[in-house]
Amino acid sequence: MARVWTWLREDVWEIRFRRYVALSLAAVLAALGIWGGMTATKEDRSCAPGVVQPKGSDECVGVSWTTYAFGRPQFAETVQAINRENHRLKPGSYVTVALLEPFTATDADNLADVLHELQGAYLAQHQANHDANGLKPKIRLVLANPGATGAHWQQTVDRLERMTKGPDRLRAVTGVGLSTDNNKKAVKELTRRGIPVIGSSITADDLANGQNGKDPFPGLARVSPTNTDEARALASFAKVSAANAFLVYDRTGDPYTRTLQKSFEKMLTGSRYEAQPFTPPADRSKEGSTANVFAQITTILCTTPKSTDTILFAGRHTQLRQFINALGARGCVDRRFTVLTGDEGSYLAGDKELDPRALKDPLLSVRYTALAHPEAWVSDTAKTGGSAADARVLQALLDSAGREPVGPVGKVALDDGQLIIAYDAMRLAVHGIRGASPTGKIPALADVGLQWPQVKGKQLRVNGASGWICLDAHGNPYDKAVPIVELTPDSRSRFVKIAWPEGKPPAQECLPPS
Amino acid sequence: MHRGLHGRGALFDTDPPGLASRLVGLRPYQLRATPYEHASEVPFVVFAGGRGLGKSALLRELRDAYRGHTPVALIDGEERQFAAPPAERPEEAWSPVGQALTTVAEQLAEPVTGAGRIGFPRLAAGLLAVAAGGWSDRDVPRIRQEAERILLLNETGSWISGFAGRWVGKIVSKLVASLSGTGPVIAPIIEATLEAFAEGIGPAPRRLRRAAGWYRDYPNAGGSPKLALILLSRHFRAGGDSRRHAERYLVRALLADLDDAYAGVVQRSHRRGRPVVLIDNVQERAGLGLLEPVLRDRADGIADQVVFFAALRGYGHAALRNAERRTLPAVAREAGWEPGTSPSSRALLVSLPPLTPDDTLHIVDTASDGPALSSSDPPVPSQLPHATHRLTGGSPLGITLLAESAKQNLPQGAASLGELLTSDVAVHEDHGGRPAYQELLDRLVPGGRLDELTVLAAAHDRDSACALAEAQLPDDFGASGVLDLEERLAEEGWATADGQFVGDPFLRALLLLRLHHGDADHERWRAVHRTLIDHYTDEDRVAPPDSARYRLHHELALGKADFAVAHLRDTFPRTDTRGWLSSLVFIASAPYYHAHDPDGRDFDGHDHRASVALGHTDAAQQPPDSVDAVLHLRVRRLLHAVWQLTDPLVLPDSQVTERLRFELEQLSNLRPAGNALLWRASRDWPSDALAGRPFRIPGDDDENASGNGNGGQ
C-alpha cells in the first residue's frame, strides 16, 4: 500500500503532465462511476417490453406484444399462440388491435373471464388472418392491461395512443371487460383520443353512446346489449309485473349495477314495495359484511304477500351469490322465489361457495341474462337475429384450436359466454378495420370508428356467434339476442330461451327503426 | 533504513531541506519537489577537503540520490579516460574537456521518471567539428566509431528510437562519403553534418535545425554556422588559449542543449528539478575545463540552470580565489550565497568537516549490525567508537574501513585498534584481504613516495626530516625531496602540526605502523628512530630547545623507558609543572608496538604498559640508589599509564585510568607549588582518556599542544 502511495505521490503527482492525465482519468472514472452507480441503483420497473410496474404498485401494466403472460400461467398457451400468429405477419401488412382486459386480476372468476376473452379474440384474429379470401390488412393482436381494477388505465391509454403512430399502427381496442368506473374513464379517454373501441362484455347503459341523445364515446361500438335492453328482454321473457316484483340493488353501484337498477326501476314503476339497497365493499369481488344485510332482506321478503315471487337483483356476482345463499336459508321455505338478474349471473355457474341447499331448493330459481350461450342457437328456433350456422363456425375454430398450428389455447369453456362475445367483438373490430379500407390498404385511425353506424342490413351486419350484430347510429347493438339462462341444482347454467329486447327477433334486414 | 551518508545531513536532509534539495529542487531519493533557494542563479558548489574526507563518496551518494529522478552525471577528473587521448586519436583533436563533455552528456541523456532521453545536437555538432580535425581518409573505421558515439548524443529515445541506429548510420555514411581523397576534411564534414541536421534527418528535425543555427553567434563567424564550426575546430586544434576558447563554447553548447530540454510548457510538465553534474577531482584538467567556462559564462550573464557539485582536493585553488567559503554545517539551512562580479565568486566552496564522535558511533554500529556478526560473536567493545574517532580524527574513510575491519576481525579475536589496523580486511567480497592500514594508505597516499613518507613520518620538522632523508633514503631524494613531499601534503589538504612532519595524527599513525611492519625484524623502524635519536643528540649542531624530549620520545619508541623515567623524575622537582606535564605527554606520545627486548624485538607480543602502570612490575624494578625510589617508581608508573592511555591504537583501560588519577593526585601532593595543575590533570586526563580525547595540559589554551593538529588549511 505504501509503495502504491509513494508511486502515486512521486511518479504520478510530481510529474505535472502525468498529474493532469491522472486527474483527467480520475475525473472520467468518477463520472463513469457515478453514472454507473446511478444506473445500478435506478429501479428496474420493467416487466417485459412495453410492460412496467408503475410507481407504488407491483402490478405489471402496459401493452405487451411478446410472450409475456402477465405472470398468469393459465394465459401462457394462448399468449404464445397469439405471438406465433403475430410473427407470421409480414411487417407493414398488418394493423394492430389491442385487447384491453385486467390481465393481472387475482380472483379466479375474473381470470377465467379474461382467459376466455383472450381465447375468443385470438380465434377471431386467426380466423381473420387465415380466411379464404385473403382479405387485408392482417390483424396483429396485443394485450393491454390497465391493472386488476383498471387503476392504471391512464398509463395504458397513453401507451396505446403511442402505438397508433409508428409501425404498430394500432387501429382498434377491443375487450374492455367489466363496466367499471375506471374502464369507463379509459374508454372515455381512448375515444377522446380518436381510438375506436369495441366493448365486448360491457353492458352498462352509461358506457354507451346514444343515452339521452348524447354520444360521449365517439367511436365506441358494443357487442353486448345494454342493461336496459337486457332488462327489457328479461321482462319480455318473464312477464314481470310491478305488483309481484321486489328490487334489491347495490347502493353505491357501478355503471353496470346502476343502469341495471334503473332499468328494473322503470319496469317496477308503481311497485308496492320500496326497493332494498345493500352496500358492498369497494372491491366487489370481496365478501364484506353484506351477507348480514341479505339475511335481513330475506326476512323482509318472507313478510311480503305470497304473490310477490320475483326478485330483481341489481348487483355484482359476489353479492348475488350471498343473496342466493341467504334466500336458500330463508325461514319461509314454502315461498317460491325467482331471482332475475343481468349477465353477472353467469358467474354463478360452478361457484363453489354457493350453498347447495339454495341450489337444490325446488322453490328457488335463479334466471339471468347471458351475453351469449353456446346452446342458444342450437336449442332455440328463432329464424332471424342469429343462426346455428354462425355458431358452428366458432365451434369449428375451437375444434382446430386444440393443437398446432392454431392452438393450443389452454382450457376452453363457453358457458360464461365470454369467449363467444370476445370473438364477436374481435370480428366486429376486423369488420370495421377492413370496412374502412376496402382496397386492403392500412386504414386511417379515424376512419375505423366511422364504420359502426353502417354495420347493419343484410350485407353489412356481423353474423356473430352470439347472434347478429346490427349497430344503431350510436354503436349499440340493435335487438341483440339475449340468452336467458337458469342455474341448475348441480350449479350449472342451463339455457332456457333467447329473449329479445324488442320482444321479438329482428327482421331479416336487421335495420334499427328511427 | 538509513539513507545518505552519516554526518552529511546538511546536504541530504529533507525536512528541513538540505543544500542538495534546495539547489536541485528535489528531495534526495524521492521524486518530490522542494522550493529552490537560488531561483535565478545556482552556485557552483565545490566540496573541499583532504583525502579520505568522503568527497567521492558524497558525490556518488548524490548521484544515487538523484538517479532516475533528474538527469545526473558523475565524472572523476582523475579517471584514466581523461588523462590521454585514446590510441590513434591525434592530440590536437582531443582534450580532457571534450572527453568529459561527451561522458557527461551521455550520462545526462539517460531517461528519467516522466521524461525521455535528452538530445545534445549542439554539443554533437561541436564535438563532431572538433573530432573532424583529427580525421583523415585513411582511418574510416575510427571515424565511423567516433562519429557514431558523438551522433548518438542526439538520440532522444522517442518512438523513432528504433530508427536511431539507422539515421546515425545514414549521417555517418554521408560524412564518410564527404571525405575527398585528399585535401581538408573539416569543412566537408561540417557541411555534411549541418546539411543532415537541416534536412531533418534523424529524430526531432525541428530541434536539430534550431540547434544547427545555434553556432551563428560564434565570434567572427558572420552568422554562418558552418564557418563557426570551422573556426571552432581550428581554435581547438591551435591549442593553448584558443583551445580554451573553443572548449568554453563546447561547454556552453552542452548547457544550451540542457536548457533546451527544460524549455517550454510541455517539457517542463514532464520534468521536475534541475539537472545535476557531479565532478570529482575538479582540480584536474577535465574538471577545471568544465568549472572555469561555467563560472565565466555565469559571470558574463549566460545563465544556465544546471546544478554543479564538484569535489576539490585540498582547500583552495587558483580558479576559486574569490569563491565564498562555508563549512558544510553552515549551509544546512541556507547557503546565504550571493554571486559577486568575478567568475570565481560564482562558486561556493564548502569544506567538509571530519565526522563527529556520534557519527563514528553510528557508522561502527551500522557496520557491526551486519549479518556477519551473529549473536554468538563478542559484542563491540563500548570504547571502540570513541577510540576509533580519536585515532582517525573523524576521517570518514578511516572510520568506515575500521568499522569494516571490526566487523570482519572482532569475531576473530582482534581486541585493539592496532590489531584491527594490522588485520586483513577484505574491502570487496571478491577480493582477498589486506592489512587495513595498507588499504588505508593506498587510498590516502596514492601516487608514489609512500616509502619515503613512511620514513619521514617519524620526523618532527623539516630539519629532522632532512636528517632522516640523508641517513635513510636514497641519495637522490635529499632535501628537495623532503620539501616536495612537504608541499604535496599541504596541497592535498593534510593538516600541519607543530612538532610533527606529518601533521595529521591518523596518517602519521598509519605511516608509523607501516614503518614498524615494513620488515620482519623491525630493522628499518629501529634505524629510523636511532637516526632521530642521533639527530637530537648531535653535539656538533645547535640542539633544538626541546631536543631532550624528542630524543627521549624516540628512545621510548624503541622500548627504552628508563631514560625517560630518569629525565622526568629528575626534572619533576625543578621544572615548572606545566612544562613537565607537557614533556610527559610528548614523550609518552611515542608509538608503541608490543614489548620489545633491548634489541627492539617483540618478545612476548603483549602490551606490558598496563602491568607497569598498575605497579605489577615494581618489585622487580631496582631504582638507582641515589634517587627517591618512590618518586622513581611513581614516575615510571605514570609514564606508562600516559603512554598507554594516549596511544590511539589501544582501547582505554579503566584500571589504568584510575591508576593515572591516583598517581597524579599523589604527585600533586609532592609539589605544593604546582599542585593545582597536577590536581587538575588528575581530574581531566582520566575522563579525557575514557572519552577518547587527547590530553590537554591544564592551563594551556592551545589545543594543538598535544599534537592533535586539525587546522592548517
Chain segment A81-128, per-residue pLDDT in tens: 999 999 988 888 899 999 998 888 888 878 888 899 999 999 999 988
Nine-digit cell at B621? 624494578
User: What angle (nearest 5°) sits at the alpha carbon of residue A465, between those of residues A463 and A471?
Assistant: 45
What nine digits make up the cell of B293?
567556462
Residue A193 has pLDDT above 50, yes or no: yes
Q: Which of B180, B275, B194 is nearest to B230 (CA)?
A: B194
Residue A219: partners with Cβ closer than 8 Å, 6 or more residues away: A191, A194, A195, A196, A197, A448, A449, A450, A452, A475
What value of ipTM does the predicted structure carry?
0.74
Alpha helices in B429-542 (DSSP H): 436-444, 450-456, 462-472, 478-491, 505-517, 523-537
Across the interface, whether the CB atoms of B268 and A14 are under 8 A apart is answered no
Q: Where are the domains of chain A?
A: 52-222+383-477, 228-369
Counted residue by residue, chain B has a size of 713
pLDDT of residue A23: 95
A305 vs B674, more confident: A305
Query: Which of A3, A8, A17, A24 is most worth mutating to test chain B (most B CB atoms within 10 A of its CB)?
Result: A17
Cell of A502: 324488442
Cell matching residue B656: 589504568
Amino acid identity, residue A62?
G
- Which pLDDT belongs to residue B74? 96
Locate the domains of chain B by residue range: 1-70+274-353, 80-271, 357-443, 445-544, 547-713
Q: What are phi and psi of B145, to 5 degrees?
A: -65, -50
Any idea what DSSP says for residue B328?
Answer: G
Q: Helix, strand or coil for residue B596?
A: strand
Task: Count H helices and E strands in chain A, helices first.
Answer: 16, 17
CATH architecture of A228-369: 3-Layer(aba) Sandwich (3.40)
Q: For chains A and B, what is the number of CB pairs under 8 angstroms?
A: 30
Burial bucket for residue B583 (CB in 10 Å: 0-12, 13-18, 19+)? buried
Q: Which residues of B447-470 are buried (b: 16+ CB within 10 A; e: fewer)?
A: eeeeebbbbbbbbbeebbbbbbbe
Residue B560 pLDDT:
83
> Shortest Cα distance from A17 to chain B (angstroms)?
5
**Interchain proximity B114–A11, CB inside 8 Å:** yes
The span from the CA of B378 to the CA of B102, in Å, is: 51
pLDDT of A212 above 90: no
List of residues 6+ apart from A163 with CB closer than 8 A: A63, A96, A98, A142, A169, A170
AA identity, residue A417: G
* Per-residue pLDDT tens digits for A474-504: 888 888 888 888 888 888 888 888 888 888 8
Higher pLDDT, A242 or B113: B113
pLDDT of residue B158: 59
Interface touch B33/A14, C-beta < 8 Å: yes
What is the model's pLDDT at position A181? 84
Q: Quick one: which of B216, B47, B25 has its CA closest to B122?
A: B216
CB contact under 8 A, B113 and A11: yes
CA distance B452 to B474: 9
CB B609 within 8 A of CB B646: no
> Is B269 close to A10, i.e. CB distance below 8 A?
no
What is the pTM assigned to this prediction?
Answer: 0.67
| Model pLDDT, residue B543 | 55
Rounded Cα–Cα distance for residues A23 and A36 (Å): 19
C-alpha cell at B515: 614503518
| Nearest beta carbon to residue A17 from set B31, B32, B114 | B114
Query: What is the distance, to the nearest Å, from the Cα of residue B564 to the centroid of all Cα atoms in its chain?
Result: 38
Rounded Cα distance, A202 and A200, in Å: 6
Cα–Cα dist B55/B47, whole Å: 7
Q: How far is B3 from chain A (nearest CA, A)?
A: 17
Q: Which residues on adjacent β-strands are paired with residue B277?
A: B73, B308
* Residue A241 burial (C-beta neighbours within 10 Å; 0-12, 13-18, 19+): middle
Residue of A nearest to B31 (CA): A10
pLDDT of residue B251: 94
How is residue B71 written as a grid cell?
538527469
B665 class by beta-carbon count within 10 Å (0-12 exposed, 13-18 middle, 19+ buried): middle
Chain A residues in contact with B270 (beta carbon < 8 A): 15-17
Instruction: Tell me the three state secondary structure of residue A455.
Output: coil
DSSP state of A65: -
Enter the C-alpha cell of residue A56.
407504488
Percent of chain A clearing pLDDT 90 (strictly above): 12
Closest by Cβ to A14, choosing from B31, B266, B268: B31
Cα–chain center distance at B140: 43
Q: Which CATH architecture describes the domain A52-222+383-477?
A: 3-Layer(aba) Sandwich (3.40)
The overall average pLDDT reported for chain A is 86
User: Cβ–Cβ of B268/A16 closer than 8 Å?
Assistant: yes
- Give the number of other CB atoms < 10 A from CB of residue A435: 17
B272 vs A: CB within 8 A? yes
Helix (H, G, I), strand (E, B) or coil at B233: helix
Closest chain A C-alpha to B73 CA, distance in angstroms:
21
* Minimal C-alpha gap between A23 and chain B (Å): 14
Average pLDDT over residues A150-174: 89
- Residues 238 to 267 of B: which have CB under 8 A from any A CB? 266
Average pLDDT of the segment spanning A315-325: 89
In B224-380 the beta strands, taken as DSSP E runs, fall at: 276-280, 307-313, 324-327, 347-351
Alpha carbons within 13 A on the beta-carbon side of B119: 25
Q: What residues of B are in contact with residue A2 (Cβ under 8 Å)?
A: none
Q: List, for chain B, all residue ranges whose pLDDT scores fall below the cut of 70.
A: 1-4, 157-167, 180-184, 199-205, 368-378, 538-545, 593-605, 674, 700-713
> What are B125's three cell numbers?
555538432
